[in-house]
Amino acid sequence: MNDNILSYIVNPGDDYVYLRDVMKTHLKLSHSLLTRLKQQNKIRVNGQISLTNYRLQAGDKVTVDIGLEEENTIEPEYIPLDILYEDQDLLIINKPPGLAVHPVKGISGGTLANAVTYYWTQQGRSVLFRPINRLDKNTSGLILIGKSQYAHQAIFRQQKQGTICRKYQALVDGVVQEDSGCINLPIAHPDPRLCSRAVDPSGKPAITTYQVLHRFKEYTLLSLTLGTGRTHQIRVHLSQAGYPICGDILYGNSSLLINRQALHAGQLTLQQPRTGAVLHFETSLPKDMLELIEYLSNVTK
């Protein structure tokens, strides 16, 4: 069985409709993906290469090969991966702190992209690296990767519809008084030369809800849920609220207790692109955050 094949049997209700309409309605293919599939002759009806203006009849079998010919220009590099889940469309990885997701200007290696490219190369695959959610280098936790343009767009559509749930844990400076709350403040990128973001009326809408998990003497452990997915959203919102993440040198202060921002993407819920099955993943806090919480618990005893 070819994992790259999508198929659909035309039912009587679809009789005499155009192939392109069925592909958009039933197979959920975007216009840009449809264009690439046509260019590479990946669309067939009853085993024959077909144009998208073909009129379908009941019983026709539509098959689409979403395995596009792509060139991955990222250098493969062996870096151990903590893979929590993999199917024909998705790869779920538990990223450690200190590992950048993408190469940046002047630095071509040592990233998650290099590691995943190596993993795929060992399987004889040439696939573009398509992370659907991105974590900062010093944020740990769950990263979702689409294994094709089809999968990437299907999950991105879920993000836009708000059906993906992402939960984080963060240890913040200060004692948060409210047990729960919502931060609804727009976030902008005022200076393109800098990586930092800021709350600004001209920015894009951003919503973060939080719940207190535990209060320490001078710190608070929070559970956070993203209503939107802006760059640095949690870090910016918590800093604006007066509770910067412990160790966040960009939006708060450095810490003697931890050498990074104490932020972890611990839960992810989504639908499998083809089957619609609900997938839920959880990963526990990494060692440095666990040790920090244990230390704070002992200090307050």
Q: Other CB atoms closer than 10 Å to residue 69's CB: what's the count?
A: 9
Q: CB within 8 A of 124, min separation 6: which ones? A: none
Q: Which of 14, 60, 136, 173 is catalytic?
A: 136
- C-alpha R_g of the chain: 22
The span from the CA of 260 to the CA of 265, in Å, is: 14
Q: Which helix (H) or strand (E) holds 63?
A: strand 61-65
Q: Which residues pair with 90 in a beta bridge?
A: 146
C-alpha separations of 244 from 127, 170, 235 in Å: 38, 10, 7
CA 70 to chain centre: 21
The span from the CA of 176 to the CA of 170, in Å, is: 12
Provide the strand spans (E) within 198-292.
198-199, 207-215, 219-226, 263-271, 278-282
Give the SS3 label for residue 81: coil
Active-site residue flag, 136: yes
The span from the CA of 81 to the CA of 265, in Å, is: 16
Q: CB within 8 A of 64, min separation 6: which ones? A: 5, 6, 7, 23, 27, 29, 37, 42, 43, 44
The span from the CA of 268 to the CA of 61, in Å, is: 35
Q: Of 66, 46, 57, which is closest to residue 18 (Cα–Cα)?
A: 57
Q: Which residues are catalytic?
A: 136
